[in-house]
Structure 1
Amino acid sequence: MSAPTHPRTHPSAAGRAETRLPWWALLLPAVAFAALLLLILNPADAQAPAGDPTLAHLAERLKELVLG
């Protein structure tokens, strides 16, 4: 005995998943990424203690790579 089948009521949705995100779901990660990138690219504004210059050199190299 087979189970009865029901026709789909929305043929446009067949075969693909539809996902709708609110506008802030894309904006918030982009803003956070930009803020962190600006903090990394401008290490002179950071209030880090003077000590190991390795991180400063790394940040300077990243800045050179990103800005060209």
Structure 2
Amino acid sequence: MSAPSHTRPHPASPGGADGRLPWWALALPTVLFAALLTLILHPSDAQAAAGDPAVSRLLEHLQQLITR
């Protein structure tokens, strides 16, 4: 005995796989990336910036490369 097939009563909603992202789906990661980049470029502004001197030198070197 075969099972009856079920059909959808109405077409799929327009917000399916081709739907648009909400505005915050792009804005939130962009803002967080900018905040983290600022902390990396200016580690002395962070609360726990004491850390390892090798990490400090690496970050200073990266900052010099980025600002060229």
Q: TM-score, structure 2 length as denominator?
A: 0.65
- SS class of match (2:52): coil
Q: Give the length in aligned residue pairs.
A: 53
**Structure with greater helix percent:** 1
- Which structure 1 residue ranges, 4+ long, deviate > 4 Å from structure 2? none
Where does residue 67 of structure 2 map in the other structure? 67
The unaligned stretches of length 5 or more in structure 1 are 1-8, 10-16
Q: Which runs of 5+ in 2 are unaligned?
A: 1-10, 12-16
RMSD value, Cα: 2.0
Choose between structure 1 and 2 for higher RCO, CA contacts under 8 A separated by at least 6 residues: 1
Residue identity over aligned pairs, in percent, reads 60
Once the two structures are TM-superposed, the CA of residue 58 in structure 1 deviates from its matched residue by 0.6
